[in-house]
Copies of this chain bind each other. A is one copy, B any other.
Amino acid sequence: MKFSHKLSDAVHILAFVYVYADGDLSSNAIAASIEANPSMVRRMMSTLVKAGLLNSQPGKVALHLAKAPEDISLLDVYLAIEDNRNLLHVDEKTNPLCIVGGNIQGTLNGIYAQVQNAAEAKMAQVSLREIIDDILTRQAQK
Asked if A52 is at the interface of the complex by the 8 Å CB criterion, the answer is: no
User: Closest residue of chain B to A15, judged by CB?
Assistant: B100
Name the B residues within 8 Å of A7 (CB-CB).
88
Interchain nearest-CB distance for A107 vs B (Å): 4
CB < 8 Å neighbour of A15 from B2, B88, B104, B106: B104
Asked if A64 is at the interface of the complex by the 8 Å CB criterion, the answer is: no
Contact B5 A89 (CB under 8 A): yes
A12 and B94 contact, Cβ closer than 8 Å, known pairs A3-B89, A115-B122: yes
Contact B100 A33 (CB under 8 A): yes
Q: How far is the CA of A136 from the CA of B106 in the complex (A)?
A: 12
Contact B19 A91 (CB under 8 A): no
Interchain nearest-CB distance for A123 vs B (Å): 6
Asked if A90 is at the interface of the complex by the 8 Å CB criterion, the answer is: yes
Contact B99 A19 (CB under 8 A): yes
Name the B residues within 8 Å of A76 (CB-CB).
none
Contact B12 A101 (CB under 8 A): yes
> Sorted from nearest, which 9 A-B pairs have the closest CB atoms?
A1-B1, A5-B91, A103-B138, A118-B122, A33-B98, A33-B101, A107-B134, A3-B89, A8-B91
